[in-house]
Amino acid sequence: MKFPLYFSKKIAFSKDNKNNLSRVIVFIGRLSVALGIIVSLITVSTGLGSKKAIKERLADFSGHISIKSTRSNSSYNSTILDKSFNIKKIKNLSEVESTQKYATVSGILRTKDNFAGIIFKGVGKDFDAERFKNFLIEGVSPKISEVGYSNEIVISKKIASDLHLKLKDSIVAIFSKENKSPIYRKFEVVGIYKTDIKMIDDLFIIGGINQVRKIQEMGPNDIGGMDVFLKNINNINEVFPKVEKLIGLKNYAEKATDKYPEILEWINIFDVNIALIIAIMLIVVVINIIMVLLILIIERTNSIGILKTLGTNNGQIRSIFINYTLLIMIPGIVIGNVVGIGLLLLQKYFGIITLNPENYYVSVVPVDLNPIYFFMISFGILFVSALSLILPSFLISKISPVKAIKYD
């Protein structure tokens, strides 16, 4: 073991530290490190967790990637998807988990006392009902058949509340087309869902695709679009170009996050907030650690003088005190991780802190418990602290051995 590290351990764990100024200084240093770790962990875990949760909600409802006809523009009424694209090759991509066809048409749900504008999303037998269960709060998914016309629909909690609807209620929907009489359809509510995404909950109802085909005068095998679900949403930027190459010139692909740019812009603010808070925490920790180092140097001036008299050079003494300061940080890092991870686990499994979904798109603060974040935060604070101690440690070279030994 090298002398500086050996000597650092001896003074760091010395019993003498319990009865002098070091005790208070060490406590302040460890407390600042622990608080820095706790705040950083919570900021990163909840910030990135919120981004991931919102993106996954958008993607789980309407696919990570959607394929549409170039003629559809921004209309909610589907245009028939060109069949030149190679759906088998898309399904065979290793990153793709599943696909589902759909068609949409806009309309109005009407009761005796109220009405609501809606987008009817018709889905086929390949509808991922298991994935959709994450949004269901009452009832079941509609039974979809490629034969006949299902009158079962799932509506959002917001629409159900606005129209005072409950399970098994009947509701009339009105669809209109240019130069044609309105089309009336009667549906039964078999399920109520909630995504916490206002743009979805305010508009979408789910039903059978054949209803949309008939309203839109589409063929029995025509579809208005294709939802592509990936195994991992983090791969969306890599998979998107692959999908684009397989959809043909008359169709286009769209990422889930690109459908709602206002939401994407909002969640991108998280990155700025995370960076700002971590920067502030680093500054606070560094200032406190530098203060700890300087006070420890002043307190042990006599020891520095003795070491210099015995032939220890300035570089070795500086290493001793830098190592000493970093060693007393370790308990703070451990405590910070234990408390921080503990709080995050409580939030993950008990959802203690809730949010207004109209403002934040999620009802409970989500957390992302990625161990890589924990390691990077702890290592980052320790590394930055070590670098910041180099310059203040040069104070040791200014101490005269003769004066230092006399120092009391």
The pLDDT assigned to 249 comes to: 85
End-to-end CA distance of the chain: 31
Using the predicted structure, report yes or no on whether residue 17 has a pLDDT greater than 60: no
Segment 79-109, tens digit of pLDDT: 888 877 778 889 999 999 999 999 999 999 9
Distance of CA 397 to the CA centre of its chain: 48
Q: What's the rounded Cα separation, in Å, for the pair 180 and 74?
A: 22
Check whether 201 has a pLDDT greater than 90: yes
Cα–Cα distance, 18 to 34 (Å, whole number): 20
Nearest to 35 by CA among 277, 241, 257, 301: 277
Q: How many CB atoms lie within 10 A of CB 1?
A: 7
Is the model's pLDDT at 19 over the cut of 70? no
Q: Are 173 and 118 in contact (CB under 8 A)?
A: yes
127, 100 contact by CB (below 8 A): yes
Q: What is the pLDDT at residue 168?
A: 92
- Other Cβ atoms less than 10 A from the Cβ of 272: the count is 10
Q: State the angle between helix axes of 21-62 and 371-390 in degrees (0 to 180), rounded to the nearest 10.
A: 140
Phi, psi of 338 (to 5 degrees): -65, -50
Lowest mean pLDDT among 17-21, 107-111, 237-241, 256-260: 17-21
Residues 6+ apart with CB under 8 A from 229: 59, 60, 63, 64, 96, 97, 98, 99, 100, 128, 131
Alpha helices in 202-313 (DSSP H): 209-215, 236-244, 256-259, 261-299, 301-309
Of 121-135, 242-256, 303-317, give the lowest mean pLDDT range. 303-317
154-180: pLDDT as tens digits: 999 999 999 999 999 999 999 987 777
State pLDDT tens for residues 361-402. 888 999 999 999 999 999 999 999 888 888 887 776 666 565
Q: Is 403 exposed, middle or buried (0-12, 13-18, 19+ CB in 10 A)?
A: exposed
Per-position DSSP letters for 343-391, written without gaps between them: HHHHHHHH--SB--HHHHS-SB------HHHHHHHHHHHHHHHHHHHHT
381, 280 Cβ separation under 8 angstroms: no
